[in-house]
Amino acid sequence: MSIRLSALELRDSLVRGELSVKELVQDYLDRITELDSHLDAFNSVFAERSIDKARELDKLRGADVNRYPLFGLPIAVKDNLCTSYGHTTCSSRILADFQAPYTATAVARLEDAGAVIIGKANMDEFAMGSSTENSAFKTTRNPWNPAHVPGGSSGGPAAAVSAGLCAAALGSDTGGSIRQPAAFCGIVGLKPTYGRVSRYGLVAYGSSLDQIGPLARDTTDCALLAGVIAGYDPADSTSVNADVPDYLGKINEPPSNLTIGLPEEFYTDALNSEIRKSLEDASSIFSSLGAKIIQVHLPHSRIDINGSGELSSYAVACYYIIAMAEASSNLSRYDGVHYGYRTDAKVEDIVDLYSKSRSEGFGEEVKRRIMLGTYTLSSGYYDAYYLKALKVRRLIKSDFDRAFKDCDILLCPVSPTTAFRLGEKTLDPLSMYLQDIYTLSLNLSGLPGLALPCGISKSRLPIGMQLIGPVFSEEKLFRAARMFERETGLSRLDPYRMNGEKVNGEENS
């Protein structure tokens, strides 16, 4: 039952007393028990705590209940969001036993709004990856087809939402880690404007790139969560002190006189033809709804393919230099001294303790990025790499600013392919990095991006598109997305059903 309803509908149902919170939470817990052993979306499930919270909420009545926008909703949070209960592991051995003494601001806001945090979801280790295959613990599967990846790094939250194991979830996006899994799993995911949501309590990967955002089954649910988590937090010096609009208020009002830009640089041969067709169709739908469609240019986000079929892009290079540099610094605190994993091996001295603990505790991809990041920041290389990347970053942002002089929002692909098979890209890190070619420009420029489904591929995998706007334009993005959703009915997609028939999710063809 739950999987058919939206979070908003569930909340209203709970508020009206048609359903008790305990019943709903139990329903989700049962569903997790039934499906998660196959999906592996969760690192930990807070069964007892959730029931306790549910009981507490059920005691509230009347006016009290209306104060909670997320009343009784079971929500999963990515395992890089600190909670003062359970563990916060970032799907890494080095934090496998880490118990945070505090809760991330965004998560606390969910709880204050009446949500029940049902569990911590799996991810690529330290959010480094685009498939959730870099998790040190388990590999999450795509509910649409368990032989395929759910995307990453927020693969766990995305799969959980898509499979109806929670009403909605929080993920984090540094280079596309909310939007790409949202697209792969056929759900809606928002990367907010940088500074819109507090990062306090989000285990840092790329400090100038990270944002926490909601993953949900439709646009309205996404807006519901966004409204709760957004807003200034004095504990985060990079959070912006600006009012949060009422995202739900006018969400069903289609934006009038909408001009939509299609960046020429994103619609190249790098893009899979099925996805391109789906986006063209989406563009036509927007057109039929009254929007004006124009071509725009984002020169520094251009993607080139060389003779050997290798993709390259300024934006990708710029992103990885900055992200890896910041990551190498943010992850230096994991040293086996203060908390987290410490080697059991015999050590000669403190340096030996550091090296063994970190070598044993970190996975391959994390170590790769730390080393590359350290290199780009090192003496003699800083100017050529990091400093240069900061300058290119400016240029990438300027491209968007210029484009937004001529249009309101951009319509872009999210990923060059649909969900690929498990193991398909793990042998070549670079091919994995290139998954982010359409998403990472936003992290570099700080702009908001909303990913939502725009079609299903021939092999029955979701196709997603991305709506991008100027800073703090989330409200307009939601309205445009909602307009599209209502026209196409492409929301609350059920991976286990197709045309009314239940599909067991095993691989077709």
CB 475, min distance to another protein, A: 25
91, 130, 177, 357: the catalytic one is 177
Distance CA 453, CA 188 (A): 7
Contact pick of 17, 234, 249, 290 for another protein (by CB under 8 A): 234
CB 101, min distance to another protein, A: 7
- The footprint of another protein on this chain (CB under 8 A) covers a number of residues equal to 42
CB 357, min distance to another protein, A: 11
CB 320, min distance to another protein, A: 15
Task: For residue 338, state whether it binds another protein (rule: CB under 8 A).
Answer: yes
Q: Residue 475: CA atoms inside 13 Å, Cβ hemisphere, count? A: 11
Minimum CB distance to another protein smaller for 296 or for 325: 325
Task: For residue 329, state whether it binds another protein (rule: CB under 8 A).
Answer: yes
Tokens read off for 354? 């550091």
92: annotated active-site residue: no
* Cβ atoms within 10 Å, residue 232: 15
CB 368, min distance to another protein, A: 18
User: Among candidates 199, 251, 228, which has minimal Cα distance to 71?
Assistant: 228
Tokens read off for 99? 């118990």
Three-class secondary structure of residue 401 per DSSP: helix
Minimum CB distance to another protein smaller for 81 or for 185: 81
Tokens read off for 355? 């090296």
Task: For residue 252, state whether it binds another protein (rule: CB under 8 A).
Answer: no
50, 92, 131, 153: the catalytic one is 153
Distance CA 262, CA 275 (A): 14
Window 50-109: residues binding another protein (CB under 8 A): 80-82, 88, 90, 95, 98, 100-102, 104
User: Among candidates 116, 110, 77, 113, which has minimal Cα distance to 203?
Assistant: 77
Tokens read off for 467? 């709506």
H or E element that contains 216: strand 211-216
Minimum CB distance to another protein smaller for 88 or for 132: 88
Task: For residue 236, state whether it binds another protein (rule: CB under 8 A).
Answer: yes
CB 436, min distance to another protein, A: 19
Per CB under 8 A, which region of 20-28, 44-52, 254-262, 346-354 contacts another protein? 346-354
Contact pick of 146, 152, 201, 495 for another protein (by CB under 8 A): 201
153: annotated active-site residue: yes
Q: Which residues pair with 466 in a beta bridge?
A: 412, 451
CB 104, min distance to another protein, A: 6
Virtual torsion, Cα 178, 179, 182, 186, nearest 10 deg? 180
Distance CA 356, CA 471 (A): 43
- Cα–Cα separations (whole angstroms), residue 436 to 34, 121, 424, 441, 450: 33, 21, 16, 9, 15
Per CB under 8 A, which region of 234-242, 295-303, 447-455, 487-495 contacts another protein? 234-242
User: Among candidates 209, 206, 199, which has minimal Cα distance to 235?
Assistant: 199
CB 210, min distance to another protein, A: 10
Distance CA 448, CA 502 (A): 35
Window 161-200: residues binding another protein (CB under 8 A): 199-200
* Cβ atoms within 10 Å, residue 359: 10
Contact pick of 266, 354, 362, 472 for another protein (by CB under 8 A): 354
Task: For residue 127, state whether it binds another protein (rule: CB under 8 A).
Answer: no
Contact pick of 378, 401, 402, 428 for another protein (by CB under 8 A): 378
22, 50, 53, 78: the catalytic one is 78
Distance CA 201, CA 447 (A): 22
Contact pick of 38, 55, 333, 394 for another protein (by CB under 8 A): 333
- Cα–Cα separations (whole angstroms), residue 215 to 15, 120, 246, 382: 22, 14, 18, 36
Minimum CB distance to another protein smaller for 180 or for 357: 357
Contact pick of 44, 207, 343, 426 for another protein (by CB under 8 A): 207
Residues in contact with another protein, shown as a per-residue x/- string from 208 to 227 under the rule CB under 8 A: x-------------------
Minimum CB distance to another protein smaller for 235 or for 294: 235
Contact pick of 19, 262, 377, 395 for another protein (by CB under 8 A): 377
Distance CA 123, CA 134 (A): 8
Minimum CB distance to another protein smaller for 386 or for 484: 386
Contact pick of 241, 351, 500, 502 for another protein (by CB under 8 A): 351
> Does residue 466 contact residue 449 with C-beta atoms inside 8 Å?
yes
Task: For residue 202, state whether it binds another protein (rule: CB under 8 A).
Answer: yes
- Cα–Cα separations (whole angstroms), residue 347 to 97, 343, 355: 21, 9, 10
Helices (H), 362-497: 364-377, 388-406, 429-433, 440-445, 474-488
Contact pick of 125, 326, 474, 475 for another protein (by CB under 8 A): 326
* DSSP annotation string for 37-104: HHH--EEEE-HHHHHHHHHHHHH--THHHHT-TTTT-EEEEETTB--SSS---TT-GGGTT---SS--
Minimum CB distance to another protein smaller for 10 or for 331: 331
- Residues assigned a catalytic role: 78, 153, 177
- Residues near another protein (CB under 8 A): 80-82, 88, 90, 95, 98, 100-102, 104, 199-204, 207-208, 234-238, 325-326, 329, 332-333, 335, 337-339, 350-351, 354, 374, 377-379, 382, 386
